[in-house]
Amino acid sequence: MSVSYTLVESNTNDLPVVAASTYNRGFNIPGGAVDEIIVRFACTLNAAGDIAADFSNMINSFRLILNGETVWDYQAGYSDNTNDNPGIAGYLLNSLGRGRSVEVNTGAATREAYMRIPVGRNLAAGISRMEYTLGYAALTGAGGAPTANSIQFWVRYNPSMQTTTTLGAGTTFNYSATTQQIVMRVPQNVPGTLAGILIQNDRANDTDLSGIRIVSQSDFEMDVDMWRVFNGDLYNGVEFMDPATAGQLEFAQLCPGVIFVPLYSLSLASDLYMQITAASARTLTVSPVITSGIAGKPQPAQVQTQSVATNVAKAVLDDSQASA
């Protein structure tokens, strides 16, 4: 029943620089019930304002592969160090459970950010393999590259995990200023159900999209703000770090141009059909979050007397207030 943490990778290289950058790395990890991958980012910027808000604004892409299986395939609709709003990567993680993306707010140039990525995989005993591709936006306008860089990857083992979680590859769609249907393709080799979808515009503009209809769940289109009632965003459900307010997190009602739509474990019997109404012509990305029930394998260890049950599908439902 024990929860344990193992540091599996640490380096001083894979952090943002002045130009856009991408890093690829692989390493061995112990087998077991892998509940989540925890990433710790630390650096000292040339100036506090080099990243206007939280560190997740810098994450342009992030792919995690465990033993040849892609478990997390994130691609940002936009990433910008000058964006003084919640970052998309952090918004997505916190939509899957509060506190999955947080940052120490010193108000200074020192940055320390954490991302807890849910995966829920039983890895065979012995040595397993993790690979990642991590892309960052450019530090536009920065006077120099960060120093005191450190990135760490930790694995949390938890035999009481209840779900596997997969972030599938996004479907992109070029939309126009009208009402139109789009189809999000779902992976054919991933078991489970749709906990929700991440809809991203290609810029931090919240007026491009006005309405969304999930065809299988509603006969009518709903305003984007109405969806934010259901996913919890409107009651200050978006938390992020802004160095302008040191010592605390800020609260917001939205992440501009982005929305997480809870789907309450919608089946994968077919692709997801949607209708959107737009006021301009841009590019949209829709990414599926798929969960499936699982039982963690107990590992020989000192016994705890309290289990930590984690369930991303339940976290999405709790935040949506649909059951209130």
Same domain, 91 and 148: yes
How many Å is the maximal CA-CA distance in the chain? 60
At 280, which CATH number?
2.60.120.1300
- Whether the per-residue pLDDT at 299 is higher than 50: the answer is no
The tens digit of pLDDT for each residue in 229-280 reads: 999 999 999 999 999 999 999 999 999 999 999 999 999 989 999 999 999 9
Same domain, 179 and 149: no
Same domain, 86 and 146: yes
DSSP sequence for 3-56: -EEEEEEEESSSS--SS-EEEEEEEEEEEEEEEEEEEEEEEE-SSGGGSSS-GG
Same domain, 182 and 136: no
The tens digit of pLDDT for each residue in 19-47 reads: 999 999 999 999 999 999 999 999 999 98
**Domain edge (last residue) among 141, 159, 177:** 159
Structural domain for 171, as ranges:
165-298+310-320
pLDDT band with cut points at 50, 70 and 90 for residue 316: confident
Mean pLDDT of 139-162: 93
Same domain, 89 and 191: no
Same domain, 104 and 171: no
- List the Cα angle 109/154/169 in 5-degree steps: 90
**Domain edge (last residue) among 159, 191, 214:** 159
The CA dihedral of 221, 225, 230, 232, to the nearest 10 degrees, is 160
Same domain, 140 and 213: no
Same domain, 172 and 147: no
pLDDT value for 79? 96
pLDDT band with cut points at 50, 70 and 90 for residue 301: very low
**Domain edge (last residue) among 109, 126, 159:** 159
The tens digit of pLDDT for each residue in 199-230 reads: 999 999 999 999 999 999 999 999 999 999 99
**How many domains, in total, are found in the chain?**
2
The CA dihedral of 298, 40, 29, 12, to the nearest 10 degrees, is -160
Number of H helices, E strands in the chain: 3, 18
In a domain, 304, yes or no: no
At 87, which CATH number?
2.60.120
